[in-house]
Structure 1
Amino acid sequence: MTATQGKLAGKVAVVTGGASGSGAAICREFVLQGARVAIADRNQEAAVRLATELAELGEARAFAVDITDSTAVNALAAEVRAAFGHHADILVNNAGVRIVKPVLEHTDDDWHKMISINLTGHFFCTRAFAPAMVDTGWGRVINIASIASFVGRPDRAAYCAAKSGALGLTRGTAIDLRHRGVTVNAIAPGSIATPLNAEAKNDTDVDWGAETLVGRWGEGRDIALAAVYLASDDASYVNGTTLTVDGGWVSAKARDGEIASHA
């Protein structure tokens, strides 16, 4: 398959937090599917490094941005248009961070950081990039949520609140942009082997992957392939929904002893 044959051929895509983890995997799959990709990240050095690596596969460019700064996000939209000669057709709001500590120990700064990066930044980016999609009658907005959007997770109250908010933002934006050729969906990852989960992945006493219905940790590519689907014309009738990519972790639970060891 060549870039002109991919499911995203000719599209311009912006991936926030695109320099590492699932974001980097999304950038790679988008390039392989023919998209021209803007890797938007606070870590410009890492973004440039990835852009250089992906240049062997297609077109990718690095952009430095703080998504919590609406002025910087608006400037990014203009920079992407200038760099690619076309507005962004696809926006993946992937940038995110997580603070792990008991709720009563959360400081004001902890709370504001979780909300501003994991939720407000998604709003700023959508507000900056979606108008051009509306003008041309085609666009895709994909918000990266979490299994923490559905269930409480220990020592993650602010993170759960922000990620739950991402689903509300997805649904509300989808209905506001209805009938304009722009779809807005979310992906809710589970246990994905990225730097954000490195401590748990390397813990020899627990195995989060074994808790899933498929019996393994997820990889960044699992999220990337879901993003390719939602960004493509294959998903033109999918709107305002959330695709959970967690190996079935949220869907089914069993108490100790309920499942035979050989099952």
Structure 2
Amino acid sequence: MTVFQGRFAGRTAVVTGGASGLGKAVARRIVAEGGRVALWDMDAGNLTAAQSEVGATHFEALDVSDQAAVEAAAASSAAALGKIDILICSAGITGATAPVQDYPVDGWRRVIDINLNGLFYCCRAIVPLLLENGYGRIVNVSSVAGKEGNPNASAYSASKAGVIALTKSLGKELAEKGVIVNAITPATFESPILAQLPQSQVDYMRSKIPMARLGEISETAAMACFMASEECSFTTASTFDTSGGRTTF
């Protein structure tokens, strides 16, 4: 990992899904580059270890699909950090692998509640704090599935398409207010979330990548950190691709 010394000096960030995977990797890098972070995750068991590993200032155990819990966590994290400059929305689940006609309705609702509604709740709670500062960066983690749709992953694909649309809307709303909002659309990369999928689904997604390999967490974390930094100053309401050539738009 190449560290850009001091890139996040004086900046603070909330990172959802921060106890593992991409969220933890982004949080680790922000701290290494001078920032302070609050980790949010529903995996309470891993949060303490992640806080120590990352060097996080604060953490909150919560389910982002609980609006009241998100609002309480936003207030608590703002108090612990002194302010919030950056929101990284990385919390998400894959859901079932099944065709639409067999997809469990409760499973559909759960994926949408976490991946889309939860992200909305986080943005809704944090945006007023960014506006108070007159500065902010929001990075919403979507997926190539939100652009192309993966078969037998309708809930996940739909939720990630919704993240892109929400990002475009919010980015335009805040374009003149000092708050930059973008989404990132990774292809499949090595992370704990793959344990939620059958190997056949992982193999299918790898086969769609022109580079013929899965991504590395560090590659998407590097892009996310650029998006979260002051360097990203003239791109908003847009998407950044880390898909090994799978999507080019």
- TM-score greater than 0.5 by the shorter chain: yes
- Paired position in structure 1 for 2:15: 15
Candidates 223, 234, 239, aligned match of 1:242: 239
How large is the RMSD of aligned CA atoms in angstroms?
A: 2.2
In structure 2, relative to structure 1, the CA distance for the partners of 1:102 and 1:66 (3 Å cut) is same
- Paired position in structure 2 for 1:140: 137
Candidates 222, 225, 242, aligned match of 2:219: 222
Does the 8 Å contact 2:57/2:80 carry over to 1? no
Question: 2:190 & 2:137 partners in 1: Cα distance?
Answer: 26
Structure 1 residue 207, shift from structure 2 partner? 7.9
In the alignment, residue 76 of structure 2 is paired with which amino acid? Answer: E
- Paired position in structure 2 for 1:54: 54
Structure 1 residue 196, shift from structure 2 partner? 1.4
CA offset digits 1:46-82 (Å, max 9, x no partner): 1110111123xxx443211111111100101111022
- Please show how residues 185-204 of structure 1 align to structure 2 within 5 Å: 185-198=182-195
- Paired position in structure 2 for 1:43: 43
In structure 2, relative to structure 1, the CA distance for the partners of 1:18 and 1:246 (3 Å cut) is same
In structure 2, relative to structure 1, the CA distance for the partners of 1:211 and 1:123 (3 Å cut) is closer
- Paired position in structure 1 for 2:29: 29
- Paired position in structure 2 for 1:160: 157
In the alignment, residue 184 of structure 1 is paired with which amino acid? Answer: V
Question: 2:132 & 2:79 partners in 1: Cα distance?
Answer: 17
Structure 1 residue 110, shift from structure 2 partner? 1.3
Question: Which SS does the other structure have where 1:150 is aligned?
Answer: helix
Question: Which SS does the other structure have where 1:234 is aligned?
Answer: coil
Question: Which SS does the other structure have where 1:235 is aligned?
Answer: coil
Candidates 107, 113, 127, aligned match of 2:110: 113
- Paired position in structure 1 for 2:88: 92
Whichever of the two has the greater Rg, that structure is 1
Question: 2:213 & 2:105 partners in 1: Cα distance?
Answer: 36
CA offset digits 1:222-258 (Å, max 9, x no partner): 1111111001111111101100111111239xxxxxx
In the alignment, residue 26 of structure 1 is paired with which amino acid? Answer: V
Question: Which SS does the other structure have where 1:109 is aligned?
Answer: helix
5+ long unaligned stretches in structure 2: none
CA offset digits 1:117-157 (Å, max 9, x no partner): 01011110001011111121100111100011111211111
Structure 1 residue 216, shift from structure 2 partner? 2.6
5+ long unaligned stretches in structure 1: 253-263
In the alignment, residue 154 of structure 1 is paired with which amino acid? Answer: P
Structure 1 residue 104, shift from structure 2 partner? 1.0
What is the TM-score normalised by the length of structure 2?
0.91
Question: Which SS does the other structure have where 1:186 is aligned?
Answer: strand
Structure 1 residue 107, shift from structure 2 partner? 2.4
Structure 1 residue 158, shift from structure 2 partner? 1.3
In the alignment, residue 31 of structure 1 is paired with which amino acid? Answer: V
In the alignment, residue 10 of structure 1 is paired with which amino acid? Answer: G
In structure 2, relative to structure 1, the CA distance for the partners of 1:199 and 1:17 (3 Å cut) is closer
Matched, 1:71 2:30: no
Structure 1 residue 211, shift from structure 2 partner? 4.8
What is the TM-score normalised by the length of structure 1?
0.87
